Structure 1
Amino acid sequence: MEKTDIPRLELESFARVNYKVPFLKVEHYPLDANYFSIENREKYPVIDYISPNRRQFFKIFHMTAGTGILTVGLHQYVLAAGDIAFLHPDEIMSWQTTSDETGGHFCLIHPKYFERDADHILQALRNYPYFKASKAVVQLSAGQSSLVNQHFESIVKEEKSNNEDKKQAILLHLQMILLEAQRAGKTLTDAPVPESYGYIHGFLKLLESSFHVQGPDDTVKLKTAAEFAEQLHVHPNYLNSLVKEHTGKTLREHIQERLIYEAKVLLIQTDWDISNISYGLGFSGHAAFTSFFKKKENISPSIFRKSAFSQINS
C-alpha cells in the first residue's frame, strides 16, 4: 500500500504540539570521528538535537520504523518508515523523535574516505540531487526500502570484517543505495519552519560563519549577542529568550561553547603554536586564551593537546 504524501505542519500547531522546552540540544560533531561510520538506529537511538555543523561529513539515514521531524536548513519534513534522508555537510539540521519505536541505519562519510581510489564516488555524492535542503528526503516503496535496508546491513557486516577489499564492497553498496533512492525519485513534501525556529537557525548559521580559520594568520571575527540580533533584525532580549527557551542555553553560552569547540579542533587537528591559536580565535594573547580554556574545561590547552595526542596514538 502506497503511503500518502507527507503532511505539512501549520506553524501554530507545530509550536503547540511539537515544540518542546528545551527543544533541542546543540551537538557539534565528535572531534575524533572516523572518516566513515555506520550505526544501527535501534542500538544508537537518536536524541533530539540540532547540529550547526558537520565538519565536512555527508550523512545518510534510512528509517525502517518510528517517526520523527527532520529540519534541513529552513525546510521541515515529517519522516516515517521507508524514508531516506540525505544531509549535506553545509546544512544546519535538527531532529526530533516523535515515537518510541525506532529502526534503520545512519552513516557518516568524510570526503577523505574517498581519497586515492574513489574520487569518482565523491563527485557522485557532490552532484547527487538529494543532498539539497529542498529535496533532502526521499520516500521509498516497501520493496525499495527493503533493498536499501539490506545494503545498509551489508555495509555494517563489511565494516566489521577484516576483508582486504571491504572498502570496495562498502562503496558498491553505497552506490546501490544512491541508485535505489534516485529510482524512487519521490521526494517528500516539505513545510516551512516556524518563525521562532528560523531565528534560532539564523543565529547558529551566523555563528558558524564566523569560524573559518584555515591558516595561522586567519582570525575569528566573533560578534556579540547584540550584533547577532542586529543582523537578524530582532531585539537582543527576544533572541536571547527564544534561544534559551528552545535550546536551554543563552546566546553568550552558545558563543563560548562554539569558541571552545573551535579551540579543541585547532589543538587536535593542527600543529600550530598555542600563541597562533590564541590569535586566530581573537584572544589578546596566550595567557588570555589559556585562562578562558582552563575556566571552561578545567585543563590547560597544552595539557589537553598532549592528552588528545596520547589517546590517538594509544
Structure 2
Amino acid sequence: EHPVLTMTESEQLWLLECYQLIRKRLNRPTPGRYMREATVSLVRAFYFEICNLLDVRVPQSNSKTQSRAYAIFDQFIKLVSQHFKHERSVEWYSSEMCLTPKHLSEVVKLVSGKTAGQWINTLVIIEIKSLLMNTPLSIKEIAMEMNFPNQSFLGKYFKNTEGISPSDFRKGMPG
C-alpha cells in the first residue's frame, strides 16, 4: 500500500551512517572473537531504525484481515529466525502455525512481497555467507551446522542461489 516513503535529509544521513558502520564492521581485517554477535546487533539496530521511520509514516490499518495477515507474517518470521538452520520447508512452518503451505505463502507474499520459501532461503543464505566470512569453519562444518546432509548439498544450494560456490565466495572476499 505504501511502496515509496520519503525521508528527510537528516533521516537519510542517519541511515547511511548506520549502514556504513555495519560495512566497516564487516570489512575489518581481523574479525575478532565477537565479530558475528556485534555485526548481528548492528544489523538489528539498523532494522529497528527503519521500523521507527516506517512507524511514523505508515498509518496503522484497522482492517482485521490485514491485522491477521501481519500477525501471521510476524509469527512466521519469528519461527524462521529460530529454526532456519534446521528447517527449510514451507510445509514445516505452515504445520507449526496450523496453516496450509499455500495459505502461509499467500499471506507472506501479500504482506512482504516475497514468498515464505524466499524468506527461508534468504535467511539460510545470509547465515551461510556470515559463517563463510566470519568464522574459520570448514565448508563441511558449516554444512553440519546448517543441517545439510553433506558438503555437496550445501554447495549446490548455495551455488543455485548465489551463482558461485561457497569456497569461491570465501576466496573472493576482501581481505
**Is TM (by shorter chain) over 0.5?**
yes
Residue of 184, 203, 222 corresponding to 2:76: 203
Q: Which residue of 1 is the match for residue 155 of structure 2?
A: 290
For the residues of structure 2 that align with 1:305 and 1:260, how far apart are their CA atoms?
Answer: 13
Determine which structure has the larger helix proportion and give its number: 2
Q: Which residue of 2 is the match for residue 277 of structure 1?
A: 142
Q: Which residue of 2 is the match for residue 264 of structure 1?
A: 129
**Quick one: percent identity of the two aligned structures?**
24
Q: Which residue of 2 is the match for residue 85 of structure 1?
A: none
Letter in 2 for 1:263: I
Judge which range, 283-292 or 197-206, deviates more: 283-292
Map 1:1-314 → 2, pairs under 5 A: 19-20=1-2, 40-43=10-13, 55-57=40-42, 59=45, 69-70=54-55, 79=56, 97-98=57-58, 194-211=67-84, 220-308=85-173, 311=174, 313=175
The CA deviation at 1:236 is 2.1
Describe the shift of the 1:266–1:68 C-alpha distance in structure 2 as closer, same or farther (beyond 3 A): closer
Letter in 2 for 1:206: L
For the residues of structure 2 that align with 1:221 and 1:45, how far apart are their CA atoms?
Answer: 33
In the alignment, is the contact (CA less than 8 A) between 2:131 and 2:142 conserved in 1? yes
CA displacement 1:19-41 (0-9 Å, x = unmatched): 45x79xxxxxxxxxxxxxxx941
Structure 2 length-normalised TM: 0.67
Uncovered stretches (5+) of structure 2, i.e. residues with no partner = 17-38
The CA deviation at 1:42 is 3.4
For the residues of structure 2 that align with 1:40 and 1:299, how far apart are their CA atoms?
Answer: 38
Letter in 2 for 1:278: A
The CA deviation at 1:259 is 0.9
For the residues of structure 2 that align with 1:269 and 1:237, how far apart are their CA atoms?
Answer: 36
In the alignment, is the contact (CA less than 8 A) between 2:69 and 2:111 conserved in 1? no
Structure 1 length-normalised TM: 0.39
Alpha-carbon RMSD: 3.3
CA displacement 1:275-307 (0-9 Å, x = unmatched): 111121121211111111111111111111122
For the residues of structure 2 that align with 1:234 and 1:298, how far apart are their CA atoms?
Answer: 33
The CA deviation at 1:247 is 1.6
CA displacement 1:145-181 (0-9 Å, x = unmatched): xxxxxxxxxxxxxxxxxxxxxxxxxxxxxxxxxxxxx
Uncovered stretches (5+) of structure 1, i.e. residues with no partner = 1-18, 24-38, 47-53, 62-66, 71-78, 80-96, 100-190, 212-219
Runs of 4+ in 1 over 6 A off after TM superposition: none
The CA deviation at 1:221 is 1.7
The CA deviation at 1:44 is 6.3
Determine which structure has the larger strand proportion and give its number: 1
For the residues of structure 2 that align with 1:42 and 1:258, how far apart are their CA atoms?
Answer: 26
Letter in 1 for 2:93: F
The CA deviation at 1:69 is 3.8
Query: Is the partner of 1:249 in helix, strand or coil?
Result: coil
Describe the shift of the 1:197–1:299 C-alpha distance in structure 2 as closer, same or farther (beyond 3 A): same
